[in-house]
Amino acid sequence: MAEVVVFHHVHGLTRGVMAFAQTLRDAGHAVHAPDLFEGRAFATLDEGLDYVRSVGFAEIIARGVAAAENVPATAVYAGFSLGVLPAQYLVQTRQGARGAVLMHACAPVQEFGDRWPPEVPVQIHAMNADRSFVDEGDLDAARDVLSQADDGELFLYPGSEHLFADPSLPGYDEAAAEALQSRVLDFLRCAG
């Protein structure tokens, strides 16, 4: 059993994110899914980004750090898109992480320090034609993380949707989401 912290994307703590967390719980893991938006949810990406810009990306990361304070340092940190920021920050700054699952995004290692902790295994999931992942630097950042991790995998699924793993959003891709979920469960079995 792994202790897991799942951070949501820019739409907020949606039914889809909660369902993903529940799937992990049903597999026997202790899962925390904090609400970084304090009860707010947004129907569109632009509305969510406007909110994030109004409070600041640093504040979102700080909320994630605060939410993880009472979770053992040996947790696995997972993030959906925006949620990758607090997940990756915690992996790179809090000693003891058992793993990282970065979905739909990856930040440059230099955002949170000078290196990825090589002993922390990582899975990175995105679609191979997702312009925000492929064209905006996330793919390069993912390759850099993988070059520093002793154990890491990048999974690129066919398609162009950004948030393909959340069944409560229009970009949901059932086949890709099921493959992602299966791979995450395998990863957590090893991390637990």
Q: If phi over 0 gives left and psi between -120 and 50 gives alpha, with beta otherwise, what is residue 5?
A: beta
Backbone phi, then psi, for 99, in 5-degree steps? Answer: 170, 170
pLDDT in tens, 147-166: 999 999 999 999 999 999 99
> Residue 24's closest CA among 45, 41, 4, 39?
4
Per domain, the residue ranges of the chain are 3-191
Question: pLDDT averaged over the chain?
Answer: 96
Helices (H), 56-129: 57-67, 84-93
Q: What is the pLDDT of residue 32?
A: 98
Q: pLDDT of 164-173, one tens digit each?
A: 999 999 999 9
DSSP one-letter string for 19-32? HHHHHHHHTT-EEE
Torsion of CA 172, 175, 177, 178, to 10 degrees: 140
Is residue 192 very low, low, confident or very high in pLDDT (cuts 50, 70, 90)? Answer: low
Q: Summarize pLDDT for 53-108 with one digit per residue, the tens.
A: 999 999 999 999 999 999 999 999 999 999 999 999 999 999 999 999 999 999 99
Q: Would you state the structure tokens that stand for residue 86, as one six-digit string?
A: 């607090």
Beta bridge partners of 138: none
CATH 3.40.50.1820 fits 3-191, yes or no: yes
Closest CA to 102 of 167, 114, 116, 22: 116
What are the pLDDT digits (tens) for 37-49?
A: 999 999 999 999 9
The pTM score is 0.96
Within the chain, strands assigned E span 3-7, 30-32, 76-80, 99-103, 122-127, 152-157
The pair of structure tokens assigned to 61 is 């990361």
Query: Is 178 in a helix, a strand, or coil?
Result: helix
Does the pLDDT at position 181 exceed 70?
A: yes
